[in-house]
């Protein structure tokens, strides 16, 4: 049964941390409940930080998994304990240093910055691996670890610097990208560039020092005999490579045909794959607009809103629903009502699209109103409040021409099978009585 309530919508300041803000509000709730009179219940209807915490936790797990996989791959190919430990040290040190620069620059830990750190995990060990392999080569030739570290670092230093500069150059277009896309990926590009630059510094300083103290000639397996041919585990790795290269050199025309087909397929897929600036999220929240005839009275609109809320509440995937009618900041006209829907956990319900379609079918049984629903997104670029997911804005100084072309545009949109819930916000459909 629907109950009357006062909805308090709390929004953070632009510079505030939303997770910390919500935690502080939750800490104050017991004190607020204690001063409320009997019969008044204070509860949280929706918490936007639930999905934020979950998404950040997923990216953090992905970051840790990436670190573990990188270390395992290093061990598989280097096949030495200390040779694996030394480049692996570059991963946490580069990430910790990146955190420090992020804090100094005022960046936040969000999905994009954590994703940048995850991508950087594979990059930050490259320089250290190149450095340690060059040093190990001189140790295998009979030089002492300290001498091998000095010679190897001096020899490979310019190569590491050039590798770092070339990687950072790849991210420069993201740093210079204008508009909304540039603002979205600004921190992403900076975090990646900082992590790669720090890994180069670590590879040129800490890695040679660790090699000089931790790598011992007797602890390194001899991978080559006097004639230069590989043996042991090196043979197991180099034999498939040799066979594949031999095949490539013998079938050059075939490979060129495969390459050309790959380019054609790539272009085709780029054309046919659906494109979007931002992917649609399943935040577990749906917002909507209940719209009736412009001439409807407030009491009639209230009854229809209660009927729509009751129909929505009966859905098994709905955990809670709230709505209001009347003119306000987010509700410009009397014939509209705002509705907010909280869904059950994603593991216990169906997908978002099917839920929206099912709720709209349920609301269709309420006469005289239409229900428009759209999923709540963490990142939105809308400058206007709209009832539906997409909006097409038309402007004109001539009200008559605007009405005429808006009607024609709406009729054209109705003919497109890809579109649903097409509506215009021109309130010119009221019933009129002309008294003479």
What pLDDT does 265 receive?
96
Which whole-number Å values give the CA distances from 61 to 64, 118, 196, 369, in the listed order?
5, 10, 21, 45
What is the domain partition of the chain in residue ranges? 50-221, 285-377, 392-426
Q: What is the DSSP string of 381-428?
A: --SS--SSS-------S-HHHHHHHHHHHHHHHHT-TT--S-------
- ∠ Cα 425 431 435 (to 5°): 135
- ∠ Cα 335 338 339 (to 5°): 135
Say how far apart CA 358 and CA 361 lie, in whole Å: 5
pTM listed for this prediction: 0.68
Say how far apart CA 416 and CA 414 lie, in whole Å: 6
Q: Return averaged pLDDT per consecutive 10 residues of the chain, 436 residues in all.
A: 77 80 89 85 83 79 82 77 81 88 83 81 82 84 86 88 88 79 82 90 90 72 48 60 84 91 95 79 84 84 88 89 80 82 86 87 86 80 66 84 86 85 67 64
What pLDDT does 261 receive?
96
Phi/psi of residue 281, nearest 5 degrees: -95, 155
What pLDDT does 383 receive?
57
What pLDDT does 382 receive?
62
Fold match between 50-221 and 285-377? Answer: no
**How do the residues of the chain divide into helix, strand and coil, expressed in percent and rounded to 5?**
60, 10, 35
Q: Kindly report the CATH class assigned to 50-221.
A: mainly alpha
Say how far apart CA 166 and CA 420 lie, in whole Å: 48
Where in 183-317 does DSSP place strands (E)?
Answer: 285-292
341, 288 contact by CB (below 8 A): yes
- ∠ Cα 207 213 219 (to 5°): 105
Say how far apart CA 7 and CA 46 lie, in whole Å: 11
> Of 329, 325, 323, 321, nearest to 302 (Cα)?
325
3-class secondary-structure state, position 368? coil
**What is the pairing mode between strands 336-343 and 318-325?**
antiparallel
What pLDDT does 15 receive?
75
326, 364 contact by CB (below 8 A): no
- Strands of the 318-325 sheet, one edge to the other: 318-325, 336-343, 285-292, 369-375
Say how far apart CA 219 and CA 397 lie, in whole Å: 83
What pLDDT does 260 receive?
95
Q: Kindly report the CATH class assigned to 285-377.
A: alpha beta
Say how far apart CA 107 and CA 430 lie, in whole Å: 51
3-class secondary-structure state, position 373? strand
């Amino acid at each position: 049964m629907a109950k009357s309530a006062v909805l308090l919508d709390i929004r953070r300041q632009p510079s505030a941390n939303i997770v910390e803000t919500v935690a502080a509000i939750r800490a104050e709730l017991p004190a607020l409940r204690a001063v409320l009179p009997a019969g008044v219940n204070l509860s949280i209807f929706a918490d936007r930080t639930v999905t934020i915490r979950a998404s950040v936790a997923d990216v953090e797990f992905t970051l840790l998994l990436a670190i573990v996989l990188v270390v395992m791959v290093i061990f598989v190919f280097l096949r030495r304990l200390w040779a694996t430990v030394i480049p692996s040290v570059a991963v946490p040190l580069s990430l910790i240093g990146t955190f420090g620069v992020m804090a100094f620059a005022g960046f936040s830990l969000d999905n994009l910055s954590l994703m940048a750190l995850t991508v950087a995990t594979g990059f930050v060990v490259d320089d250290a691996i190149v450095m340690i392999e060059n040093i190990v080569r001189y140790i295998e030739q009979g030089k002492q670890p300290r001498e091998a570290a000095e010679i190897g670092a001096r020899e490979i230093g310019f190569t590491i610097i050039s590798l770092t500069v070339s990687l950072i150059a790849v991210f420069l277009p993201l740093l210079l990208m204008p508009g909304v896309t540039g603002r979205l990926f600004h921190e992403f590009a900076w975090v990646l560039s900082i992590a790669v630059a720090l890994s180069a510094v670590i590879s040129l300083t800490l890695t040679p020092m660790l090699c000089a103290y931790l790598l011992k000639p007797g602890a390194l397996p001899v991978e080559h005999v006097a004639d230069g041919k590989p043996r042991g585990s090196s043979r197991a790795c180099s034999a498939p490579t040799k066979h594949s290269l031999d095949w490539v050199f013998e079938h050059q025309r075939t490979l060129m045909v495969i390459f050309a087909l790959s380019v054609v397929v790539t272009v085709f897929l780029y054309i046919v794959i659906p494109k979007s600036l931002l992917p649609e999220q399943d935040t577990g929240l749906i917002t909507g607009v209940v719209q009736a005839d412009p001439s409807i009275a407030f009491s009639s609109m209230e009854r229809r809103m209660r009927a729509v809320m009751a129909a929505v509440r009966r859905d098994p995937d709905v955990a809670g629903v709230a709505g209001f009618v009347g003119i306000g900041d987010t509700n410009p006209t009397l014939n509209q009502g705002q509705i907010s829907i909280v869904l059950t956990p994603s593991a216990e319900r169906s997908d978002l699209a099917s839920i929206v379609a099912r709720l709209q079918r349920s609301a269709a049984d309420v006469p005289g109103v239409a229900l428009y629903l759209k999923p709540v997104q963490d990142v939105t670029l809308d400058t206007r409040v709209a009832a539906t997911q997409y909006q097409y804005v038309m402007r004109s100084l001539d009200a008559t021409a605007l009405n005429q072309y808006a009607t024609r545009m709406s009729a054209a949109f109705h003919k497109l099978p890809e579109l649903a819930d097409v509506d215009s916000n021109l309130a010119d459909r009221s019933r009129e009585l002309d008294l003479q």
